[in-house]
Structure 1
Amino acid sequence: MNKSISIALFLILFCNTSGWSQKTTQTVVTAKDTVKSIDIDPLTPAKAAFYSAVIPGLGQAYNKRYWKIPLVYGAIGTSLYFYIDSNKKYHQFRDAYKRRLEGYNDDDFTYLDDSRLIAAQKFYQRNRDYSTLFIVGFYVLNIIDANVDAALKQFNVDERLSIRPTLYQNNLNYKTNVGVSLTYDF
């Protein structure tokens, strides 16, 4: 037992001699990267999404993807046109049907019976509802596009990260083999 204690004390005293030994300072030399690194701003996607939520297309302008702005307004504007048109026609058929129920037959749709007026109301109401979904869908797609585009804009795709197909010769039978080389540098 005494032998174990003396060995433990010996190890503690002589292995941990940093308090008694002379301290040396080390200087670490680090090489600077020769390739300019791009600073990544984690708030850029959130800003682009916010701008697109406030005004559709503004996030695309923030990302400097100006060619997407007419697409955004074209999609939302076309859906809005069909919403307005379907809503107008729905109200025309509804008003004509209401007048028929009151006993008047002087509407623009005298060639249609009551069941056709009801069917036309349902048709234009359904189209109006679909147009509403398309407006909301294109608006949300506009926000998602701005967010994803801003995030991918910061993605590193330089020459140091690459996958290149290579041809190499097999040392056993000297036939050419095809392979893929994944090269990365730090």
Structure 2
Amino acid sequence: MFQNIFAQKDSIAVRAKQLQLTNDKYNPLSPTKAAFYSAIFPGGGQMYNGKYWKAPIVWAAMGTSAYLYIDNSNEYKRFRTAFKLRKLGLQDEFTRDDGTVLISEAGLESAQKTLRKNRDLSLLSGVLIYILQIIEASVNAHLLQFDTDDSLSVKPVITPDPLLIEAPKVGLTLKYSF
């Protein structure tokens, strides 16, 4: 004769099994790898994290700053060459054949200062974008490892104060349990 006997599950064993499953998800080297991949190839850390849609944004931002740097640098060189030629008494591209000056010397100097400032700012923005995408990949890799179990939740509740019914008041109470 066979009999089935049912008992409670061992809660310690169940919890240990859950912890083992969550520990398999945790990889302490994941943020380091993401930062490394982003440092070697911009957008690589985002792809390593599985956020493929972020890589084109990184490429567009870095490409834009590189384009602006090159464009401002070329324009700066153009105005700088014209300024040097004019100082030597030679004809530059901003002087017509009949001797009419399209841009004055003060205008050439002002254009050089503005273009140099814009060139430097575009270089700075490119460096900042590069650093920020490395930091973003590392932080995102950290955040992907957080436990987002259904038992972790916030439940806002509005509770009126029975003593002060006439005087409304606003407050915030956070209750959490483990």
Offset, 1:117: 0.5
Aligned residues: CA RMSD: 2.6
Q: 1:153 pairs with 144, 156, 159, which one?
A: 144
Give the Cα separation in 2 of the matches to 1:145 and 1:126: 28
The secondary structure found in structure 2 opposite 1:31 is: helix
TM score, norm. by length of structure 1:
0.73
Per-residue CA distance 1:94-150 (angstroms, 9 max, x = gap): 000111111102423541111111111111000000000000010001101100000
Give the Cα separation in 1 of the matches to 2:129 and 2:72: 18
Q: 2:27 pairs with 36, 41, 63, which one?
A: 41
Unaligned runs of 5+ in 2: 1-10, 96-100, 166-170
One-letter code aligned to 2:22: S
One-letter code aligned to 2:57: L
Give the Cα separation in 1 of the matches to 2:34 and 2:149: 24
Unaligned runs of 5+ in 1: 1-28
Give the Cα separation in 2 of the matches to 1:114 and 1:164: 68
Please show how residues 12-161 of structure 1 align to structure 2 within 5 Å: 30-33=12-15, 35=18, 36-39=21-24, 40-108=26-94, 110-161=101-152
Give the Cα separation in 2 of the matches to 1:112 and 1:167: 69
- Equivalence for 1:26: none
Give the structure with the higher percent strand.
Answer: 1
- Equivalence for 1:182: 175
Residues 31 and 121 (structure 1), Cα distance of their counterparts in 2 relative to 1, 3 Å cut: same
Residues 180 and 158 (structure 1), Cα distance of their counterparts in 2 relative to 1, 3 Å cut: farther
Residues 135 and 168 (structure 1), Cα distance of their counterparts in 2 relative to 1, 3 Å cut: closer
Give the Cα separation in 2 of the matches to 1:180 and 1:103: 78
| Contact 2:94–2:103 (8 Å) recurs in 1 | no
The secondary structure found in structure 2 opposite 1:32 is: helix
Instruction: Indicate the structure (1 or 2) with the bigger Cα radius of gyration.
Output: 1
| Contact 2:72–2:118 (8 Å) recurs in 1 | yes
| Contact 1:60–1:66 (8 Å) recurs in 2 | yes
TM score, norm. by length of structure 2:
0.76
Give the Cα separation in 2 of the matches to 1:49 and 1:146: 6
For this pair of structures, how many residues does the alignment match?
Answer: 153
